[in-house]
Amino acid sequence: MIKSKKNGELIIISGTTCAGKGTVVQELLKRNGNLEVSTSYTSREKRDGEVDGKDYFFVTDQEFENMIKNDEFLEYAKVQYGKYYGTSKKEVKKLLEKGKDVILEIDVQGAQQIKKLFPETILIFIMAPSMSEVKRRIKARGKESNEQIIERFKTAYNEINEIHKYNYVVVNDVLEDAVKKVEAILISEKCCVDRIEEISLENQEEIIHEFLIDKDFENKPIEIK
């Protein structure tokens, strides 16, 4: 009876530092064949082992700025060391029209840019169980100075204050549990009334409906062949 929309869902995963959002996304991709990640564009140099078109689309600063002028990005940002990162409108649209659910792992700022263009976007925020756990995870990496750790904490607190702009929040304490929660969110979104394109009735249902709306239906035998 119910015909759902053919286009896929656009899903954004954001989260604080060391929340494990990247790990959650990778697990989701392993378990859900209809999930795809849109390949982003960047103007930074390609690193050893990276593949153009798979890890990123690598372009020059000038090429990226031309794409900005041509309004080719859903969202973009100029980040550390002055390099650009952005999500292509064309890439995302192509996947959605194929019926693929597209997942984007981006920051709070980028999420809000996309939400303005696609209000139906599903926004999920991943959090660590506590800030003390964040501290433990950062120190376990052993790569940051005290100043960098403090800066990460400041950013994390600012991002947490933006949670009210998201549809869902998932605490990533145990990875398996966090992944299951996100999967449950995606399943429930597929059942939303907003996804219904139309409702069609089979012939037998139409016959019953005609009898029910007829004033004299009580005096008529219902025969369905």
* Separation CA 20–CA 139 (nearest Å): 15
pLDDT, tens digit, for every residue of 1-35?
Answer: 566 677 899 999 999 888 899 899 999 999 999 99
Tell me the chain's radius of gyration from C-alpha atoms. 23
89 within some domain:
no
53 within some domain:
no
Q: Which is more confident, 221 or 93? A: 93
Residue-level pLDDT at 47 = 84
pLDDT, tens digit, for every residue of 186-215?
Answer: 999 988 887 776 665 566 655 666 666 655
57 within some domain:
no
106 within some domain:
yes
47 within some domain:
no
Scanning the chain, the segments in alpha helix (DSSP H) are 21-31, 61-69, 89-97, 108-117, 131-141, 146-160, 175-190, 203-213
82 within some domain:
no
Contact of 78 with 84, CB cutoff 8 Å = yes
β-strand partners of 86: 41, 76
Q: Which is more confident, 153 or 222? A: 153
- Domain, as residue range, for 107: 2-38+100-219
β-strand partners of 170: 126
136 within some domain:
yes
Residue-level pLDDT at 202 = 60
β-strand partners of 87: 75
Q: Once rounded to an integer, what is the mean pLDDT over residues 116-144?
A: 85
Report the Cα 1 to chain-centroid distance in Å: 28
Q: Once rounded to an integer, what is the mean pLDDT over residues 144-155?
A: 79
What's the structural domain count of the chain?
1
Q: Once rounded to an integer, what is the mean pLDDT over residues 166-182?
A: 96
- Structure token digits, residue 16: 């604080």
User: What mean pLDDT value characterizes the chain?
Assistant: 84
The label of the residue with tokens 């494990």 reads 20
Q: Give helix 175-190 / helix 21-31 axis angle, nearest 10°.
A: 60
Q: Any idea what the Cα angle at residue 19 is, between residues 135 and 111, rounded to 5°?
A: 130
Q: How many CA atoms lie within 13 A of 127 on its CB side?
A: 18
Contact of 102 with 7, CB cutoff 8 Å = no
192 phi/psi in degrees, rounded to 5: -65, 145
67 within some domain:
no
pTM: predicted TM-score of the whole model, two decimal places: 0.77
- Structure token digits, residue 62: 């000038």
CATH code at 15?
A: 3.40.50.300
Residue-level pLDDT at 167 = 95
Q: Is the pLDDT of residue 221 over 60?
A: no
pLDDT, tens digit, for every residue of 32-79?
Answer: 999 998 888 999 988 888 899 888 899 999 999 999 999 999 999 887
- Return left, alpha or beta for 145; rule: phi > 0 is left, psi -120 to 50 is alpha, else beta: beta
**Regarding beta strands 84-88 and 41-42, do their DSSP bridges make them parallel or antiparallel, or are they unpaired?**
antiparallel
Residue-level pLDDT at 151 = 79
Residue-level pLDDT at 207 = 60
